[in-house]
Amino acid sequence: MNINPEFRRNLWLELTPSRLVGMPLVLGVFFFLAYTMDDKQYGASVASTALTLFGLLAFLWGVRLASETLISELRDHTWDSQRMSVIGPWSMTWGKLLGSTIYPWYGALICLLVYLTSQPSLGLSLIETAVLLVGSGLLGQAVGFLSSLQAIRKNQRYGRLQTTIFLVLGVSCSLSLLNWPFEKASGIFWYNQSYRDEQFVLVSLVLFLAWTLLAIYRLLRAELQLKSQPWAWGLFVCFLMVYVAGFLNDGSMIDGQSIQQHRLLGAFIVSILLAYAMIFCESKDPVAFRRLLECLGRREWGRAMESFPLWLMTLSFVILTCLSLVGISFSSPSPEEASQIAISAMAMVLFLLRDFGIVLFLNFGRIPKRADMLTLLFLFLLYGAIPTILTALDLDSLAGCFWPVPGIPAEVILPAALVQTVVMLCLVARRWRYNLQMSS
Partner 1 sequence: MIEVKDLVFEYPGKRALNGVSFRIKPGNITALVGPNGAGKTTLLRCMAALEVPLHGEIRIDGENINEDPRACHRKLGYLSDFFGLYDELSVRQCLLHAAASRGILANEQARVVEQAAIRLGIADRLEIKAGALSRGLRQRLAIAQAVVHEPQILMLDEPASGLDPEARHSLAELFLTLRDQGMTLIVSSHILSELDEYSTDMLVLREGRLLSHDLIEPQSVKTVSLKLSLSEPCHELQALLSGLPGVSAVNGDDSSAIISFNGDLADQHHLLKSLLGQGLPVCSFAEQQRNMQSAYLESVRHEEQREGVQ
Q: Does 285 bind partner 1 (CB under 8 A)?
A: yes
Distance CA 257, CA 331 (A): 9
Contact (CB, 8 A) for 272 and 352: yes
- What number of CA atoms fall less than 13 Å from residue 236's CA on the CB side? 21
The answer to whether residue 224 forms part of the interface with partner 1 (CB under 8 A) is yes
Residue 218's nearest CA partner among 229, 205, 202 is 229
Shortest Å, Cβ 439 to partner 1: 6
**CA terminus-to-terminus distance, the chain:** 53
Site membership for partner 1, residue 83 (CB under 8 A)? yes
Question: Nearer Cβ to partner 1, position 43 or 89?
Answer: 89
Query: With binding defined as CB under 8 A, does residue 156 bind partner 1?
Result: no
CA dihedral 355, 356, 358, 361 (to 10 degrees): -170
Q: Per CB under 8 A, does 2 bind partner 1?
A: yes
Q: Give residue 304's Cα distance to chain centre.
A: 25
Q: How far apart are CA 427 and CA 294, in angstroms?
A: 21
Instruction: Rank residues 40 and 299 by Cβ distance to partner 1 and give the closer one.
Output: 299
Least distance in Å: CB of 373 to partner 1? 17
Helix (H) or strand (E) holding 227: none
Q: Least Å distance between CB 226 and partner 1? A: 7
309 conformational bin, left if phi > 0, alpha if psi -120 to 50, beta if neither:
beta
Q: Are 382 and 416 in contact (CB under 8 A)?
A: no
Q: How far is the CB of 393 from partner 1 (least distance, A)?
A: 41
Q: Which member of 18, 366, 394, 411 binds partner 1 (CB under 8 A)? A: 366
In the complex with partner 1, which residue's Cβ is closer, 222 or 405?
222
Instruction: Answer yes or no whether residue 372 interacts with partner 1 by CB under 8 A.
Output: no
Q: Considering the rule CB under 8 A, would residue 246 count as an interface residue with partner 1?
A: no
Nearer to partner 1 (CB atom), residue 70 or residue 352: 70
In this complex, which beta carbon is closest to partner 1, that of residue 13 or of residue 423? 13
CB of 147 to partner 1, least distance (A): 23
Instruction: Please state the closest distance from residue 197 (CB atom) to partner 1, in A.
Output: 44
Q: How far apart are CA 291 and CA 293, in angstroms?
A: 6
- Asked if 3 is part of the footprint of partner 1 (rule: CB under 8 A), the reply reads yes
DSSP assignment letter at 188: E
- Nearest approach, Cβ of 75 to partner 1 (angstroms)? 8
Q: Which stretch binds partner 1 (CB under 8 A): 69-77, 96-104, 121-129, 138-146?
A: 69-77
The residues in 111-130 that bind partner 1, with binding defined as CB under 8 A, are: none
Q: How far is the CB of 363 from partner 1 (least distance, A)?
A: 9
Q: What whole-number distance in Å separates Cα of residue 362 and Cα of residue 358?
A: 6
- Give the whole-angstrom CA distance, residue 9 versus residue 102: 11
Q: Which of 197, 51, 68, 206 shows the shortest CA–CA distance to 136?
A: 206
Contact 67, 163 (CB under 8 A): yes
Sole binder of partner 1 in the list 40, 77, 160, 299 (CB under 8 A): 77
- Residue 13 CB, shortest distance to partner 1, in Å, is 6
Q: Report the run of H or E that residue 195 belongs to, with start and end.
A: strand 193-195
**Chain contacts with partner 1 (rule: CB under 8 A):** 1-3, 5-6, 8-9, 12-13, 73, 76-78, 80-87, 224-226, 285-287, 290-291, 366, 368, 435, 438-439
